[in-house]
A and B are shown apart, each in its own frame.
Chain A
Amino acid sequence: MGIELKNVYKKFGDFKALDDVSLKVDDGELLALLGPSGSGKTTLLRVVAGLDFFDEGQVLFSGRDAQNQKARERGVGFVFQHYALFRHMTVFDNIAFGLNVQPRKTRPSRQEIRAKVMELLKLVQLEWLAERYPWQLSGGQRQRIALARALAVRPKVLLLDEPFGSLDAQVRKELRAWLRRFHDEFHITTIFVTHDQEEALEVADRIVVMNKGRIEQAGTPEDVYHNPVNAFVLSFLGNVNFFHCRLEEGKAVIGNTTLEVPGLSVDKPQPAKLYVRPNQFKVSRVFSKAAFKAVVEYVNPAGTIVKINLKTESGERIYVEITQEELKQLKIRKQEKVYVSLKDVSYSEYVKDNS
């Protein structure tokens, strides 16, 4: 089912939780709402679920206005951040709840409910936990049961609020991959909220970056990562180094160093803010005029990439990432001098000349 929000506003007192939000979610899409806390992403999710009401605007489900539909009429599966399992019910009864509360006319028979619950337990790979109570489960297991419970009513839309937020790293990775596989198999329109950019980039078909109740950018993971529309999106999707500089044709002047920026063309020299991702630097031992002279403060080779902290002559700190192969060639250590130049630039923004 496709969902569309048109110019939605929502205030909590003076706080603008949603400020003119318009968004289209296609049928069968896996969408991530990404943003810092307080950016309105959870509110947006709750508005879609019918758990919160908006002040102005429109929410359309398959083109039909959902304003007067209550949460229970929307056919929406909601998975809460802290699972919200019914603690006095077994796992089985938790999953069966949505079926058991259906009106007698449409309610499946006991055998059908039983079969459906077991099928869902199999789907989340926890068949052996049917008779346990929620407090007897681990966080990851609870999360999967919450998912199974939401899926039992065959929702047309699945909404997940920080689904993996309170799980440890390993479990989180597993569940992420599971969610992606699950979605590829069943194609239920899914929206999930996260503040973890890595999670959004890895799982989602499309990412909506939110800040202060507004949508900053919506696009594929590739798109938002490589073509951010503003500095906020850029810095929220991964580490970035920031410099005040003066841009000239093919060059960026930072302090008294002039760096070459391949492919940069400017109308006239002007002051700007320059954003560079850690992997867009080239580290070398060979002197070059078009490079920062810097001292290595810290090298962390643990992991697939090598993380290096540098300090330039003028005192600026740069965070650089290079590959293990590059490290092998360079053999750099702490306190050694290196030369840092630019391979590329993520984003630059002109600023008004104050001088």
Chain B
Amino acid sequence: MIFFKTASMGFPDFVHVITAPRTLAAYRLSFGTAFVSACINAVFGVIVAWVLVRYSFPGKRIVDALVDFPLALPTAVAGIALTELYTPTGWVGQYLQAAGIKGAFTPFGITIALTFIGLPFVVRTIQPVLEDIDPQIEEAAASLGANRWQTLTKVIFPVIVPAVLTGVTLAFARGIGEYGSVIFIAGNMPMKTEIAPLLIMTKLEQYDYTGATAIAIGMLVISFLLLAAANFFQWLTSRNLGKA
């Protein structure tokens, strides 16, 4: 459908639409913030999953359930809540303001929203793999003379890297397409904080259907290439891990 609609506009027009400064800025913003937040989630997701798997503490089950919260929450609600928190007068925003950082209505704000939305994807893909790791392999490494850092980098990470990549890819993919939670906190200033999905919406509202589909195709192709690359990398790292 998207392709047929776009085909009606002709190639020069297509190139013109997707290379317009406003479109390029939106692409950069969407992919950039999605990428950064996926990277942040890679770090925090591993930490959260590790704590949930390896430690027992009071309220662990509640924390475990909370991980899924961003998935259950309607994205618009999440967006409004986050905006409230990060505006210069909000609970978190006022401290950021004091530190000279603007929370809401900046790419930073968008990244916060995407990190929030993406976290469960990373945690939930890493968790089962971590649960699968026999704590004895850490003891084996220790008895062979490895220190904590060596055990982590040589024994644990290689095993969980494929899962981390999968989780990060999922979070990234979700981040690219995320709409509801972002539009509130973004502020939607063209060229600055306007994400690609919003630009598509804007075009649609202006009855510029071909323009909207052209941008959509741009996203589609880039997303596809990125995901293909991520999958290839995953295959590369996991092919030697074996079954069980």
Contact = CB atoms under 8 A, between A and B. Distances in A.
Given A87-B159, A88-B158, A101-B150, A80 B140 contact: yes
Interface in A57-106: 70-72, 74, 76-78, 80, 82, 84-89, 97-98, 100-102
Contacts of B134: 82, 84
Given A84-B136, A102-B145, A153-B144, 14 more contacts: A51-B139, A72-B142, A78-B139, A80-B139, A82-B136, A84-B137, A85-B137, A88-B240, A97-B144, A101-B144, A133-B240, A133-B242, A135-B244, A149-B140
A150 B144 contact: yes
A136 B243 CA distance: 9
Interface of A: 49-51, 70-72, 74, 76-78, 80, 82, 84-89, 97-98, 100-102, 133-136, 149-150, 152-153
A86 B155 contact: yes
A354 B146 CA distance: 62
B154 to A, nearest CB: 7
B147 interface: yes
Contacts of B40: none
Contacts of A134: 242
Contacts of B242: 87-88, 133-136
B221 to A, nearest CB: 34
A148 B18 CA distance: 61
B140 A84 contact: yes
Nearest to B159: A88
A97 B154 contact: yes
A82 B146 CA distance: 20
Contact of B142 (A51, A86, A89, A150): A51
Contacts, number: 77
A98 B142 contact: no
B218 to A, nearest CB: 38
A153 to B, nearest CB: 6
B14 to A, nearest CB: 46
A97 B141 contact: yes
Nearest to B241: A88
Contacts of B154: 97, 100-101
Contacts of B155: 86
A76 B140 CA distance: 11
B206 interface: no
B143 interface: yes
Contacts of A85: 137, 140
Contact of B143 (A78, A88, A89): A78
A-B residue pairs, 6 tightest by C-beta: A98-B144, A135-B242, A84-B136, A84-B140, A78-B143, A101-B146
Contacts of A153: 144-145
Interface in B194-219: none
Contacts of A102: 145
A86 B159 CA distance: 9
Contacts of A100: 154
Contact of B146 (A72, A80, A89, A150): A72
Interface string B143-166: 111110010001100110000000
**In the complex, which of the residues B139, B144, B146, B242 has the most CB atoms of chain A within 10 Å of its own CB atom?**
B144
A282 B163 CA distance: 67
Contacts of A149: 140, 144
A74 to B, nearest CB: 8
A153 B146 CA distance: 11
A71 B158 contact: no
A88 to B, nearest CB: 5
A44 B143 CA distance: 16
A49 B143 contact: yes
A97 to B, nearest CB: 6
A78 B138 CA distance: 12
**In the complex, which of the residues A49, A72, A80, A149 has the most CB atoms of chain B within 10 Å of its own CB atom?**
A72
A72 B144 contact: yes
